[in-house]
Amino acid sequence: MSGSHHPKGTSNVLTDLGFEDAAELSAKAALALELNGLLDERGLSQTEAATITGMTQPKVSQVRRYKLQNISLERLMQALVSLDRHVEIVVQPACSTTAPGITVSARHP
């Protein structure tokens, strides 16, 4: 396959796939990953998780399956806070090494 052109990807596969809201979906996925890890760690059922987080059981099910289009970043952050996590938002100027956008990271103790 010599001569075939392979476009250079970005650091966000969702952007590469053409999602217009790729940065937000990436942030949601990172928060959902953390939330799902906590639910697994604590052995909580979806019903128990719904009670603790104030979400409905169907919303918890969506998070468990990473179906995040109808769940806000705020809702995911509130759910993490209800599970004794501190969520911090930092706004800073973009620079040559950091493009404008949304980044979510989780630190484990």
Going residue by residue through the chain, which has 109 residues, state the pLDDT in tens, using 9 for 90 and above.
455 555 566 665 555 656 566 778 888 999 999 999 999 999 999 999 999 999 999 999 999 999 998 999 999 999 999 999 998 887 777 776 767 776 777 766 5
DSSP one-letter string for 29-92 = HHHHHHHHHHHHHHT--HHHHHHHHT--HHHHHHHHTT--TTS-HHHHHHHHHHTT--------
At residue 1, the pLDDT reads 47
User: Is-above-0.85 flag for pTM?
Assistant: no
At residue 107, the pLDDT reads 67
Q: Which residue has the tokens 């979510």?
A: 104
CA pair distance 80, 86, nearest whole angstrom: 8
CA pair distance 28, 67, nearest whole angstrom: 10
The CATH number linked to 31 is 1.10.260.40
Kindly state whether residue 61 falls inside one of the protein's structural domains: yes
Kindly state whether residue 5 falls inside one of the protein's structural domains: no
At residue 40, the pLDDT reads 97
Domain range for 26: 17-82
Kindly state whether residue 41 falls inside one of the protein's structural domains: yes
Kindly state whether residue 93 falls inside one of the protein's structural domains: no
Count: domains in the chain:
1
